[in-house]
Protein backbone atom coordinates (compact mmCIF):
# COMPACT_ATOMS: atom_id res chain seq x y z
CA UNK A 1 0.00 0.00 0.00
CA UNK A 2 1.33 3.43 -0.95
CA UNK A 3 -0.02 6.91 -0.24
CA UNK A 4 -1.59 7.29 -3.68
CA UNK A 5 -3.57 4.06 -3.33
CA UNK A 6 -4.51 4.91 0.26
CA UNK A 7 -5.92 8.29 -0.77
CA UNK A 8 -7.89 6.72 -3.65
CA UNK A 9 -9.49 4.24 -1.24
CA UNK A 10 -10.31 6.96 1.29
CA UNK A 11 -11.84 9.23 -1.34
CA UNK A 12 -14.03 6.39 -2.65
CA UNK A 13 -15.23 5.55 0.86
CA UNK A 14 -15.87 9.23 1.62
CA UNK A 15 -18.23 9.37 -1.37
CA UNK A 16 -19.84 6.10 -0.30
CA UNK A 17 -20.45 7.32 3.26
CA UNK A 18 -20.86 11.12 3.05
CA UNK A 19 -22.67 11.22 6.38
CA UNK A 20 -20.15 9.12 8.30
CA UNK A 21 -19.61 10.45 11.82
CA UNK A 22 -19.17 9.33 15.41
CA UNK A 23 -22.12 7.21 16.50
CA UNK A 24 -21.82 8.00 20.22
CA UNK A 25 -24.07 10.77 21.56
CA UNK A 26 -22.46 13.46 23.73
CA UNK A 27 -22.49 17.19 24.43
CA UNK A 28 -19.23 17.78 26.32
CA UNK A 29 -15.71 16.30 26.38
CA UNK A 30 -16.49 14.57 29.68
CA UNK A 31 -19.62 12.97 28.24
CA UNK A 32 -17.55 11.79 25.27
CA UNK A 33 -15.00 10.25 27.62
CA UNK A 34 -17.76 8.65 29.70
CA UNK A 35 -19.44 7.18 26.60
CA UNK A 36 -16.15 5.85 25.22
CA UNK A 37 -15.39 4.03 28.47
CA UNK A 38 -18.87 2.47 28.41
CA UNK A 39 -18.49 1.44 24.76
CA UNK A 40 -15.75 -1.12 25.52
CA UNK A 41 -17.19 -4.57 24.72
CA UNK A 42 -20.56 -2.90 24.13
CA UNK A 43 -22.42 -1.49 21.13
CA UNK A 44 -22.69 2.25 20.61
CA UNK A 45 -26.44 1.79 20.27
CA UNK A 46 -26.66 0.34 23.78
CA UNK A 47 -24.46 3.13 25.16
CA UNK A 48 -26.69 5.76 23.57
CA UNK A 49 -29.75 4.20 25.19
CA UNK A 50 -28.04 4.22 28.59
CA UNK A 51 -26.33 7.62 28.81
CA UNK A 52 -29.24 10.13 28.45
CA UNK A 53 -30.68 9.29 31.87
CA UNK A 54 -27.22 9.42 33.42
CA UNK A 55 -26.18 12.71 31.81
CA UNK A 56 -29.45 14.36 32.83
CA UNK A 57 -28.64 13.85 36.52
CA UNK A 58 -24.84 13.53 36.40
CA UNK A 59 -23.57 15.65 33.48
CA UNK A 60 -19.98 16.28 34.56
CA UNK A 61 -16.92 14.92 36.35
CA UNK A 62 -17.80 16.51 39.68
CA UNK A 63 -21.24 14.88 39.82
CA UNK A 64 -19.82 11.46 38.91
CA UNK A 65 -17.09 11.98 41.52
CA UNK A 66 -19.78 12.49 44.20
CA UNK A 67 -22.11 9.64 43.22
CA UNK A 68 -22.00 6.37 45.17
CA UNK A 69 -20.26 3.71 43.15
CA UNK A 70 -23.16 1.29 43.76
CA UNK A 71 -25.53 3.77 42.13
CA UNK A 72 -23.15 4.24 39.21
CA UNK A 73 -22.89 0.47 38.75
CA UNK A 74 -26.67 0.27 38.63
CA UNK A 75 -26.92 3.04 36.05
CA UNK A 76 -24.32 1.59 33.66
CA UNK A 77 -25.26 -2.07 34.21
CA UNK A 78 -26.82 -2.47 30.71
CA UNK A 79 -23.43 -1.76 29.10
CA UNK A 80 -21.71 -4.79 30.63
CA UNK A 81 -18.56 -5.11 32.74
CA UNK A 82 -20.25 -2.53 34.93
CA UNK A 83 -18.15 -3.03 38.07
CA UNK A 84 -14.84 -2.42 36.32
CA UNK A 85 -16.24 0.44 34.23
CA UNK A 86 -17.79 2.10 37.28
CA UNK A 87 -14.48 1.85 39.14
CA UNK A 88 -12.60 3.40 36.21
CA UNK A 89 -15.15 6.18 35.79
CA UNK A 90 -15.09 7.04 39.50
CA UNK A 91 -11.28 7.12 39.55
CA UNK A 92 -11.20 9.19 36.36
CA UNK A 93 -13.73 11.67 37.74
CA UNK A 94 -11.62 12.03 40.90
CA UNK A 95 -8.49 12.75 38.85
CA UNK A 96 -10.30 15.27 36.64
CA UNK A 97 -11.74 17.12 39.64
CA UNK A 98 -8.53 17.16 41.69
CA UNK A 99 -5.99 17.69 38.90
CA UNK A 100 -7.80 19.33 36.00
CA UNK A 101 -10.53 21.40 37.69
CA UNK A 102 -13.15 19.01 36.34
CA UNK A 103 -12.07 19.39 32.71
CA UNK A 104 -10.90 16.66 30.33
CA UNK A 105 -7.28 17.21 29.25
CA UNK A 106 -6.81 17.94 25.55
CA UNK A 107 -3.68 15.83 25.28
CA UNK A 108 -3.10 12.23 24.22
CA UNK A 109 -0.51 11.47 26.89
CA UNK A 110 -2.65 12.87 29.72
CA UNK A 111 -5.77 11.11 28.45
CA UNK A 112 -3.99 7.76 28.35
CA UNK A 113 -3.11 8.11 32.03
CA UNK A 114 -6.81 8.06 32.94
CA UNK A 115 -8.25 4.70 34.08
CA UNK A 116 -10.03 2.89 31.28
CA UNK A 117 -8.63 5.13 28.54
CA UNK A 118 -6.21 3.45 26.16
CA UNK A 119 -4.76 4.77 22.92
CA UNK A 120 -7.84 3.92 20.86
CA UNK A 121 -10.13 5.75 23.30
CA UNK A 122 -7.76 8.71 23.52
CA UNK A 123 -7.76 8.98 19.72
CA UNK A 124 -11.57 9.02 19.70
CA UNK A 125 -11.75 11.67 22.43
CA UNK A 126 -9.18 13.93 20.76
CA UNK A 127 -11.09 13.74 17.48
CA UNK A 128 -14.70 13.91 18.63
CA UNK A 129 -14.45 16.12 21.73
CA UNK A 130 -11.71 18.49 20.57
CA UNK A 131 -11.67 18.12 16.76
CA UNK A 132 -7.93 17.49 16.97
CA UNK A 133 -7.27 14.04 15.45
CA UNK A 134 -3.87 12.74 16.55
CA UNK A 135 -4.01 9.31 14.98
CA UNK A 136 -6.43 6.58 13.96
CA UNK A 137 -8.54 4.63 16.43
CA UNK A 138 -8.12 0.95 15.57
CA UNK A 139 -11.30 -0.84 16.59
CA UNK A 140 -12.43 -4.23 15.28
CA UNK A 141 -13.81 -2.68 12.07
CA UNK A 142 -10.65 -0.69 11.36
CA UNK A 143 -8.45 -3.73 12.04
CA UNK A 144 -10.47 -5.93 9.68
CA UNK A 145 -10.52 -3.37 6.87
CA UNK A 146 -6.85 -2.47 7.25
CA UNK A 147 -5.93 -6.16 6.94
CA UNK A 148 -8.26 -6.90 4.04
CA UNK A 149 -7.30 -3.84 1.99
CA UNK A 150 -3.59 -4.33 2.55
CA UNK A 151 -2.87 -1.33 4.74
CA UNK A 152 -1.33 -3.63 7.34
CA UNK A 153 -0.57 -7.30 7.97
CA UNK A 154 -0.28 -6.71 11.70
CA UNK A 155 -2.78 -7.91 14.31
CA UNK A 156 -1.97 -5.60 17.23
CA UNK A 157 -3.94 -2.32 17.13
CA UNK A 158 -0.94 -0.07 17.82
CA UNK A 159 1.12 -1.69 15.05
CA UNK A 160 -1.83 -1.43 12.64
CA UNK A 161 -2.18 2.24 13.50
CA UNK A 162 1.50 2.86 12.78
CA UNK A 163 1.15 1.19 9.37
CA UNK A 164 -1.90 3.32 8.61
CA UNK A 165 -0.15 6.53 9.63
CA UNK A 166 2.73 5.76 7.23
CA UNK A 167 0.48 6.03 4.17
CA UNK A 168 -2.47 8.19 5.26
CA UNK A 169 -1.87 11.97 5.29
CA UNK A 170 -2.91 13.77 8.48
CA UNK A 171 -5.69 15.69 6.75
CA UNK A 172 -7.48 12.36 6.26
CA UNK A 173 -7.28 11.13 9.87
CA UNK A 174 -10.75 12.43 10.70
CA UNK A 175 -12.30 10.79 7.65
CA UNK A 176 -10.64 7.43 8.20
CA UNK A 177 -11.79 7.25 11.82
CA UNK A 178 -15.38 7.49 10.60
CA UNK A 179 -15.51 5.78 7.20
CA UNK A 180 -13.68 2.60 8.25
CA UNK A 181 -16.21 2.09 11.05
CA UNK A 182 -19.16 2.75 8.75
CA UNK A 183 -17.75 0.50 6.03
CA UNK A 184 -17.25 -2.29 8.55
CA UNK A 185 -20.79 -1.98 9.83
CA UNK A 186 -22.51 -1.59 6.46
CA UNK A 187 -20.60 -3.76 3.97
CA UNK A 188 -17.31 -5.20 5.19
CA UNK A 189 -18.73 -7.40 7.93
CA UNK A 190 -16.56 -9.96 9.72
CA UNK A 191 -18.43 -13.13 8.72
CA UNK A 192 -20.49 -12.26 5.65
CA UNK A 193 -19.04 -9.22 3.88
CA UNK A 194 -21.14 -7.86 1.02
CA UNK A 195 -18.25 -7.95 -1.45
CA UNK A 196 -20.52 -7.62 -4.49
CA UNK A 197 -21.58 -4.16 -3.26
CA UNK A 198 -18.15 -3.00 -2.08
CA UNK A 199 -16.84 0.11 -3.89
CA UNK A 200 -13.19 -0.74 -3.11
CA UNK A 201 -13.23 -4.49 -3.81
CA UNK A 202 -10.57 -4.15 -6.53
CA UNK A 203 -8.11 -3.18 -3.78
CA UNK A 204 -9.18 -5.97 -1.45
CA UNK A 205 -7.17 -9.09 -0.59
CA UNK A 206 -10.26 -10.81 0.83
CA UNK A 207 -12.47 -10.94 -2.26
Active-site annotation, residues: 120, 139
**169: number of Cβ within 10 Å:** 11
Rg (CA), the chain: 18
Give exposure, 103-140, as e/b (b: 16+ Cβ within 10 Å). Answer: ebbeebeebeebbbbebbbbbbbbbbbbeebbbbbbbe
44 CB burial (10 A radius; 0-12, 13-18, 19+)? middle
**Measured distance CA(40)–CA(112) in Å, rounded:** 15
**26: number of Cβ within 10 Å:** 20
**Measured distance CA(31)–CA(64) in Å, rounded:** 11
Across the chain, where does the E strand assignment appear?
none
Residue 20 in contact with residue 67, Cβ under 8 Å? Answer: no
Amino acid sequence: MNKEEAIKIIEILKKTYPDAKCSLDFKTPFQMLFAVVLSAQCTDERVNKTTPEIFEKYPDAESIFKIDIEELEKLIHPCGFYKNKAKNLKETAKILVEKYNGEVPCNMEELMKLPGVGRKSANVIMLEAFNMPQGIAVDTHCKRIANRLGFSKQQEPQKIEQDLLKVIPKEYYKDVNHIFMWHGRNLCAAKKPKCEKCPVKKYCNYC
